[in-house]
């Protein structure tokens, strides 16, 4: 668990994209953000108050989250002094960077001296169990994709927000670094040891109220040769009651695999159902989420309508059109 609320560290982000993690936290958990800290040369802006570390502490911040990808994979000197100051002022540090905070000796020393934590969300901090496959109370929805990076996290986030607005019990369950930094907890599934993958997802989505929904962040794809094992562990550990199929129509090949084509939505539906029924015979595919970010308004609408007619399932881009129809489909 990462202590909240956050001060978002944007560093010297050259552009908005470099501060993608901060943007995600601001978009999905604005209530957790007391402000932002920007260094000279920063071209990103979350529209939050610019605070010094002291001001952030005074406003109640508990953790400074590194919301920016650093250049070249190392922590620059200009960052380093600010990170140390944050620890000295009583903040924990949380990061999804490839180079780990815990491997920076000066940060480890400063954190120790001040009783603060360095949280590298790329590394699991829990000893997960082996999955036992026992049925749990409560409901679970999982987004599965024709490919990696087709909008599975945003789909689950949009659904959680819509459900909470409707007064439903819903919890987004993060399984990746960005999701963990956004919500403050979760399982960094791609970094879990093979034997414990499914068990980590059982741990993440425990028994709950009968009318509570976990919205589980998907990872990879059953059809992605590099990461399919992670996806299947997620299906079997998650025991989903409902599946949402996610698709990005403009992709020319599987992400990172130029020789591989995406499966059709029909293939994904059939295969995901075969695999999910192993752990939950009542599982259903309830809707389809299309990532239309590279399409114009008319094309996006026409594409969703075409898919909806073909697949006979509610089909929307939840980020563009709202997640209402997907949420309503959960009860179908």
Sites of contact with its own copies (CB under 8 A): 130-135, 189-195, 197-199, 222-223, 225-234, 236-237, 254, 256-257, 259-260, 263, 271, 274-275, 278-279
* DSSP line for 12-81: T-SSTGGGHHHHHHHHH-GGGEEEEEE-TT-----SSPB--HHHHHHTT--EEEE-SPPGGGS--HHHHH
Cis ω for the linkage preceding 5 (within 30 of 0):
yes
Query: In a 10 Å sphere around its CB, with 0-12 CB exposed, 13-18 middle and 19+ buried, how is residue 317 labelled?
Result: buried
Q: Minimal distance in Å, beta carbon 52 to its own copies?
A: 38
Phi, psi of 225 (to 5 degrees): -60, -25
Residue whose CB is less far from its own copies, 31 or 259? 259
58 vs 130 by CB, closer to its own copies:
130
Closest separation between CB of residue 249 and its own copies, Å? 20
| Strands laid side by side in the 169-173 sheet | 169-173, 212-216, 139-145, 242-247, 284-290, 315-316
Q: How far apart are CA 88 and CA 91, in angstroms?
A: 7
Residue closer to its own copies, measured from CB, 126 or 130: 130
Q: How far is the CB of 255 from its own copies (least distance, A)?
A: 11
Rounded to the nearest whole angstrom, what is the least distance from the CB of residue 263 to its own copies in the complex?
Answer: 8
How far is it, in rounded angstroms, from Cα 251 to Cα 9? 33
Query: For residues 36 and 178, which CB has a smaller minimum distance to its own copies in the complex?
Result: 178
Burial of 14 (0-12, 13-18, 19+ CB in 10 A): middle
Residue (106 or 195) nearer to its own copies, CB: 195
Smallest gap from Cβ 199 to its own copies, in A, equals 7
The least distance separating its own copies from the CB of residue 79, rounded to whole angstroms, comes to: 26
How far apart, in Å, are the Cα atoms of 167 and each of 29, 261, 322?
A: 17, 40, 16
Q: Among residues 116 and 173, whose Cβ is nearest to its own copies? A: 173
Q: Do residues 140 and 276 make contact, with C-beta atoms less than 8 angstroms apart?
A: no
Q: How far is the CB of 253 from its own copies (least distance, A)?
A: 10
Q: How many angstroms separate the CA atoms of 77 and 116, rounded? A: 21
Closest to its own copies by CB, 64 or 285: 285
């Amino acid at each position: 668990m990462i202590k909240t609320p956050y001060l978002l560290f944007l560093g010297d982000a050259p552009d908005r994209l470099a501060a993608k993690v901060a943007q995600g936290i601001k978009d999905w958990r604005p209530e957790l953000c007391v402000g932002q800290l920007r260094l000279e040369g920063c071209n990103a802006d979350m529209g939050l108050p610019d605070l010094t570390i002291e001001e952030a502490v005074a406003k109640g911040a508990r953790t400074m989250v590194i919301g920016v990808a650093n250049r070249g994979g190392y922590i620059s000197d200009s960052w380093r002094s600010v990170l140390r100051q944050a620890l000295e002022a009583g903040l924990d540090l949380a990061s999804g960077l490839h180079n780990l905070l815990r491997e920076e000796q000066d940060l480890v020393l400063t954190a120790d001296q001040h009783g603060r934590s360095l949280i590298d969300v790329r590394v699991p901090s829990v000893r997960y169990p082996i999955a036992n496959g026992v049925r749990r109370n409560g409901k679970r929805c999982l987004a599965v994709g024709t490919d990696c990076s087709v909008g599975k996290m945003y789909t689950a986030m949009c659904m959680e927000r819509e459900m909470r607005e409707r007064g439903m019990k819903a919890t987004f369950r993060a399984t990746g670094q960005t999701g963990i930094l956004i919500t403050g907890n979760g399982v960094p599934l791609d970094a879990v040891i093979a034997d414990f993958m499914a068990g980590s997802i059982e741990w993440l989505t425990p028994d709950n109220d009968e009318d509570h929904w976990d919205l589980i962040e998907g990872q990879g794809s059953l059809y992605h040769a590099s990461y399919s094992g992670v996806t299947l562990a997620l299906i079997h550990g998650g025991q989903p009651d409902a599946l949402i199929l996610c698709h990005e129509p403009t992709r020319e090949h599987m992400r990172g695999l130029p020789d591989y084509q995406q499966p059709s939505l029909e293939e994904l539906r059939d295969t995901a159902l075969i695999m999910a029924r192993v752990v939950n015979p009542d599982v259903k595919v309830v809707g389809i989420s299309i990532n239309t970010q590279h399409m114009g308004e008319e094309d996006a609408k026409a594409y969703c309508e075409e898919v909806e007619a073909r697949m006979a399932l509610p089909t929307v881009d939840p980020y563009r059109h709202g997640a209402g129809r997907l949420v309503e489909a959960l009860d179908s």
